[in-house]
A = this chain, B = another copy of it.
Amino acid sequence: MDKMDHINIQQVLEQTVQETVSEAEKGEVASYIPELARQDKRRLGISVCLKDGTLLSAGDAHLPFTLQSISKIFSLMVALCEHGERYVFERVGKEPTGDPFNSIIKLETIKPHKPLNPMINAGAIAVAGMIPGATVEKRLEKIMRLLRKMTGNPELRVNYDVYQSEKQTADRNRALAYFLKESKILSGDVEETLDLYFRHCSIEVTTVEVARLAAILAADGYDIVSGEQLLPREVARICKTFMVTCGMYNASGEFAIDVGIPAKSGVAGGIMASVPQRMGLGVFGPALDEKGNSVAGVKLLQRLSDMWDLSIF
């Protein structure tokens, strides 16, 4: 691929979007959050941010969507930067799980009662609990500041309607949070931490911004656009590792075999994929498979991985 010029890449993106958009028929938009249920399931967009900072897009690349679980990567970044690895991993594990993202079983069966990893809901809520600040707004600001710096978009904001919608339909997450509180994994006010969690899940982006975020992770934290190291290399690597072992819910193993790129998906239909040292990809396709991943988005990434040999394995 290194030899391909930008025109070629652009053509491949457009053609592949066209070829895979119909996959969306096999999926359904997320129904459990009313605001998400309204999306048009036939949308599909992709942006690529190359090593040199070049941004190329195809399809519905400029439609806004919320990060949802993709945001778990960035709250983890903030927690790691604020507290260091030791503190964070005393409260959340590093292991993938065969259970669904919202499962509560392992919280009870595993001793000590620690979420298995920061990508499942229990783990991400535990991480949200580690973001310091006097108010929810100030805690959110820590995540927003990082995301604005990484995307270069100072306008980045929370989609208030989605946030409200999540907040009102989140009793399973409340169950997880109170279990964590009981187990001393969460301290402080549970509703405030959940509030922070719902907010960071509701941050609105486009594939362009997700591609930039992915590219910085691909470059181990270095941002070619600003010329700055925006996060420690070690933090970037930890994030990419979680993206491989548990970034695609309990289809992570299959995605690793079929696509082979560190990636994180969200139930709004987004996928952030980082090809180490090569490129970042942002994908949006709201029709989800039964595991919660964008059907057409996964197919699109699989095609590109095959063509461009993007697998890390």
Contacts and interface: CB of A to CB of B under 8 A. Distances in A.
B96 A245 contact: yes
Contacts of A240: 313
Contacts of A93: 253
A253 B96 contact: yes
B241 A260 contact: yes
Contact of A104 (B104, B244, B252, B313): B104
Contact of A95 (B174, B177, B250, B312): B250
B260 A237 contact: yes
A313 B94 contact: no
Interface stretch (A17-25, A58-66, A105-113, A292-300): A105-113
In the complex, the count of this chain's copies comes to 4
Contact of A237 (B107, B108, B311): B311
Main secondary structure of the interface of A (DSSP, over half): helix
A262 interface: yes
A71 to B, nearest CB: 20
Contacts of A241: 253, 256-257, 260, 313
Contacts of A116: 98
A40 interface: no
Contact of A171 (B117, B171, B181): B181
Interface in A134-169: none
Interface in A260-313: 260, 262, 276, 311-313
What size tier do the contact residues of chain A reach? 35 or more
B253 A104 contact: no
A254 B171 contact: no
Contacts of A215: none
21 contacts: A94-B256, A95-B98, A95-B254, A96-B96, A96-B97, A96-B253, A97-B98, A104-B179, A117-B253, A171-B181, A171-B190, A174-B190, A175-B182, A237-B257, A237-B311, A241-B257, A244-B244, A244-B245, A244-B256, A244-B313, A245-B245
Given A175-B178, A244-B256, A245-B245, 14 more contacts: A94-B257, A96-B97, A97-B97, A104-B175, A105-B105, A105-B108, A171-B178, A172-B182, A174-B178, A175-B182, A178-B178, A241-B253, A244-B245, A276-B312
